[in-house]
Amino acid sequence: MTTSSPALHVFIGPTLTAARVRSLGPTAIVHPPVQHGDLLRLATSPGDTVVIIDGLWHQVPPVRHKEILELLASGVTVIGAASMGALRAAELAPYGMVGVGWVYEQYASSAIDADDEVAVAHTPEGRPLSTALVCIRYALSAAADVGIITRSDVGRLLDRAQALPFQRRTWRALKYVTTGDLAEAYELARAWLDAQGPAVTNVKALDAELAIAQAVAGQLPTAVPPGWQAEPWRTSHLRRWIATYRPAAHTARASVPFLAVLNHAQLYDPAFPARWRRHVLAWIAAQSPAARNVEDQALAAAHARGLDSNALTPGQIGYWATPGEIVSLCQRELLLRILVRSARMDPTASVWPETPAEAAGLLDADTAARAAVTAWTTNERVAATGPGRTLEHLDPKRIHAHLASQWGIHPSDTAALTAAARDRGILSLPDAVEAARPFYLAARATSLTVGTTRQR
């Protein structure tokens, strides 16, 4: 039996071209600049290596520290250099992230600390439109090392460069903000730097190439031995991110995350409310869902914590139960429903499943995954038909009516619809509408097809 070689993932953008990355590591899997969620989307295994060079941060949420820790804790080597990677490596070196290169060393030694030191403006294709301050800093320092300009000149030129917004920070812009003897120093430095080329003027590229070459050769600096995994470092935010981004099913062009699969089961599987009820009550009772007398044990556990029908005010009962339920249900059943509805799908609670394995008793995973893939494929097809054809433009009133029809409840009966959402682990009806948004087009297309078939 053959085993696959460890994978090498490289997140790159304006610092280095994909072609250059592949020339250094022919098997490297090249990704665009990293942003929040990207690391969790990777199908990594212990022994794999992830090299972070470039990352987005100004227009989208940046890669989070806990996302990197999640990879490190799973046995993946994570290397940072040159840009966003150097910044994160300096911050996470105590946890085992490996930093490489001059830019990393500057951050690690606190010689620099500002995010905009490595920031550049660039096109969607990755063509840089400005120059990173670290590149200017390194180049001017190199000119001073050989006596072209003085250290005082370097400091004054860096002050001018630092005052420029990073989007406008270029050598040409720096020239326009220098006057007198400083302009003369600038011209001397530029003439010398032009003769040296990228080996001096583009330290970010040098660091990126070094990091990739060392990753390919396996010649990495020794990381600090991690001992933090046993600490309670995983947060509710990380649990939510894992469910939101980690793939559970795939289309030809996209990965469908686990949360989408779970959401589909919540909304469309008629058996889900009963499964969720037993799951929650077993959690309250600290028992297996397969245990006998789960309902009685859950009520006993709630009573031991001071929660029973006598402890609830009419207002509290009215918040969780419909008027019809308050009139028709016995106190025992009413309390059971309140217990279930108040334990929503929330990553702050351990009742909330983070992985398909934890949700094994809650859903028909294969059916939900196929339905989620169909929905993603439908959304992609519709989006390709023209600008503005996005899920955000769907009318929430139509989704509201769709869910009411799906659950067999009149659209105007808000109380019953809210209760139905809570019976599925969703706190509110608006939350249910938003959860259904990615599935509406595919579900609508299916209902129209079924209707047409029946008419024939």
Span 258-311, pLDDT tens digits = 888 889 999 999 999 999 999 999 999 998 888 889 999 999 999 999 998 888
Contacts of 270 (CB under 8 A, 6+ apart): none
Contact status, residue 395 vs residue 273, Cβ threshold 8 Å: no
Compute CA 236 distance to the chain's CA centroid, rounded to the nearest angstrom: 13
Q: How far apart are CA 421 and CA 319, in angstroms?
A: 13
Q: How far is 322 from 415, CA to CA, in rounded Å?
A: 6
Q: Which value, in Å, is the radius of gyration of the alpha carbons in the chain? A: 28
- Of 321-330, 386-395, 414-423, the range with the lowest mean pLDDT is 386-395
Please name the residues in contact with 22: beta carbons below 8 A apart, sequence gap of 6 or more: 28, 30
| pLDDT given for residue 345 in this prediction | 66
Classify burial at 384, counting beta carbons within 10 Å of its beta carbon; exposed 0-12, middle 13-18, buried 19 or more.
exposed
What's the mean pLDDT in 241-262?
A: 79
User: With 80 as the cut, is the pLDDT of residue 454 above it?
Assistant: no
Confidence (pLDDT) at 359: 84
- Report residue 72 as tokens: 């490190």
Comparing 40-49, 381-390, 432-441, the range with the smallest average pLDDT is 381-390
Average pLDDT of the residues in 1-12:
81
335 compared with 244, residue with greater pLDDT: 335
Confidence at residue 453, expressed as pLDDT on a 0 to 100 scale: 39
The torsion angles phi and psi of 283, rounded to 5 degrees, stand at -65, -45
**Is the Cβ–Cβ distance between 426 and 432 less than 8 Å?**
yes
Extents of the domains making up the chain: 8-121+205-227, 133-203, 237-455
CA 25 to chain centre: 26
pLDDT tier for residue 247 given thresholds of 50, 70 and 90:
confident
Give residue 16's pLDDT.
95
Least confident of 99-108, 127-136, 209-218, 255-264: 255-264
pLDDT of residue 257: 87
Regarding the domain delimited by 8-121+205-227, which CATH topology (the fold level of the hierarchy) does it fall under? Rossmann fold (3.40.50)
pLDDT at 456 over 60: no
pLDDT digits over 323-361, tens only?
A: 999 999 999 999 999 999 998 766 666 788 877 888 888
329 three-class SS? coil
Q: Which residues contact 346 (CB under 8 A, 6 or more apart)?
A: 236, 352, 427
Q: What is the mean pLDDT of the chain?
A: 90
**Cα separation of 427 and 408, whole Å?**
19
Please, what's the b/e burial string for 123-138 (b: 16 or more CB within 10 A of its CB; e: otherwise)?
A: eeebebebbbbbbbbb
Cα–Cα distance, 411 to 434 (Å, whole number): 16
Residue 58: its pLDDT value, please? 81
